[in-house]
């Protein structure tokens, strides 16, 4: 599966949004949020999306399935700053029998700050690839 590098900047293209507030610990000496701190924002939004879909990640893990991260990409457009309230929009953009791709749009007060994509593989607790859960194979895909 090819990593998509153009997730849309229109929030209407996304089915879900999760809000995070920037911690001081996430800033760096440039006075902005450090680039590595975005990946936990995407992860928190992803976990929130799973919960909203009725399939919390804790349950999935209890069932013996993990979603390992195969690729991650972020494009930093405008800096995030301490105490910013960030809307992280999420949508599923592509899928194979054992992997899926999520796109993300990060906005502060309706201003586009970043886009990102993560690619995940369903794996057993032993780390072997396995099929996506049934509910996930039926989600409507966003167009990117």
From 6, 28, 63, 83, active-site residue: 28
Exposed/middle/buried for residue 112 (C-beta within 10 Å: 0-12, 13-18, 19+) = middle
Instruction: Report which of 11, 17, 69 is spatially closest to residue 48, judged by C-alpha positions.
Output: 17
Residue in the block written with tokens 């457009």: 77
Indicate whether 112 belongs to the interface with a copy of itself (CB under 8 A).
Answer: no
- CA 108 – CA 35 distance, rounded (Å): 16
Site for a copy of itself in 46-85 (CB under 8 A): 47, 56-58, 66, 68-76, 79, 81-83
Question: Is residue 110 flagged as an active site residue?
Answer: no
Of 8, 15, 43, 108, the residue at the interface with a copy of itself (CB under 8 A) is 43
Tell me which residues touch a copy of itself (CB under 8 A). Answer: 3, 5, 21, 23-25, 27-32, 34-37, 39-40, 43-44, 47, 56-58, 66, 68-76, 79, 81-83, 127
């Amino acid at each position: 599966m090819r990593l998509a590098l153009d997730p849309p900047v229109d929030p209407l293209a996304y089915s879900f949004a999760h809000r995070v507030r920037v911690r001081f610990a996430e800033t760096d000496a440039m006075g902005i949020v450090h680039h590595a701190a975005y990946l936990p924002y995407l992860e928190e939004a992803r976990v929130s999306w799973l919960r909203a879909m009725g399939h919390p990640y804790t349950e999935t893990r209890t069932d013996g399935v993990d979603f390992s991260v195969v690729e991650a990409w972020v494009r930093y457009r405008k800096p995030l700053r301490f105490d910013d309230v960030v809307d992280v929009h999420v949508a599923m953009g592509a899928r194979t029998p054992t992997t899926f791709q999520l796109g993300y749009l990060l906005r502060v007060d309706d201003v586009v700050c970043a886009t990102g994509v993560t690619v995940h593989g369903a794996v057993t607790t032993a780390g072997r690839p396995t099929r996506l859960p049934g509910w996930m194979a039926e989600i409507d895909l966003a167009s990117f």
